[in-house]
Amino acid sequence: MIGATEDIPTRAAGLDARAAELVRQAVLGDLAGRVVAECGADVGLVGVPDRADRPGRMVLRHWAGTRADLLHDLEVPIGTGLGGRALAERAPTWVPDYRAATTISHQYDDAVHAEDLYAMLTVPLVQGGAVHGVVYASLRAVVSFGDVRIDSVARLAAAATRALAGAAAWCEEPDRPLPDRPPPAGLTPREREVIRWAATGRSNPEIADRLGLSCHTVTGYLKSAMHKIGVRNRVELALFARDFGLIGRPGQLT
């Protein structure tokens, strides 16, 4: 029994790490798609830092709108290309015509040409010294990026960076206090239970099987709960659940 009790913090910490990684992947994947859907870009890309044993570079891990695969999983050392320059300078960078630009290196021209890309904007995902990556918004035309489009991509990048920083804090700052307010009133015990399992990465069929419900019923509980607390997707749901203590922090099971 003592051994089982001592294992609880380990299992709880593992749960936090898994939930944090699920949030991270969802935020980054969603960001590429939203750049295309909401900012008028033809292609959205997100580069993330490479492995710890290979510092000084990022890899393009998430994409939307691509036609070829030369940009997929492309390694970009910091300081090279437009994205590497954005990370090096910790500031947005853009060019109306990537192919004709004289202020950036051109070792990625083959990949850019394969996608028929010209205008390109990059915004680093940086907060408090922590580098989470860089987001690209590219168009298949030579255009000047106006303030509206730059601000639109920057807002998405800022929101994603906050979510990524919050996910990282789950494991790095296990003792951070809960908000000084309770969860929104109106959530039923069953809705809280469904939120808890959904926020730790379980699919609707998995939740249904665990709780002895139909998948349709679980979907209904999730939709109702998300409407009550004002979140739009599972990423925001996971952040809500963590902030309000519906899923445990290391050393604590709820």
Which residues lie across from 60 on neighbouring strands?
A: 47
Cα separations (Å) of 136 from 160, 210, 233?
13, 40, 23
Q: Where in the chain is the domain with CATH 1.10.10.10?
A: 189-243
Contact status, residue 17 vs residue 107, Cβ threshold 8 Å? no
Cα separations (Å) of 217 from 145, 184, 196?
46, 22, 16
Q: How far apart are the first and last CA of the chain?
A: 20
Does the domain at 2-172 match CATH 3.30.450.40? Answer given as yes
Which residues lie across from 45 on neighbouring strands?
A: 63, 136
Contact status, residue 194 vs residue 218, Cβ threshold 8 Å? yes
Question: Three-class SS of residue 199?
Answer: helix
Angstrom distance (rounded) from CA 8 to CA 6: 6
For 128, the token pair is 């408090």
Decide: residue 123, CB within 10 A, 0-12 exposed, 13-18 middle, 19+ buried: buried
Q: Where in the chain is the domain with CATH 3.30.450.40?
A: 2-172
pLDDT tens for the chain, 254 residues long, are 444 444 544 444 555 677 777 778 888 888 999 999 999 999 999 998 876 556 678 899 999 999 999 999 999 888 888 888 887 888 889 999 999 988 888 889 999 999 999 999 999 988 766 778 899 999 999 998 888 889 999 999 988 888 887 777 665 544 343 344 455 667 888 888 888 888 777 788 888 888 888 989 999 998 988 888 888 777 777 777 776 666 544 333 33
For 42, the token pair is 């033809």
Give the position of tokens 């949030």: 23
Answer yes or no: pTM beyond 0.85.
no
Residue 11 has what pLDDT? Answer: 46
- Other Cβ atoms less than 10 A from the Cβ of 17: the count is 13
What radius of gyration, in Å, describes the C-alpha atoms of the chain?
A: 21
For 137, the token pair is 């918004």
Residue 174 has what pLDDT? Answer: 42
CATH architecture of 189-243: Orthogonal Bundle (1.10)
Q: Enumerate the H helices of the chain as residue ranges.
A: 2-39, 81-89, 109-114, 147-172, 189-199, 204-211, 215-229, 234-243
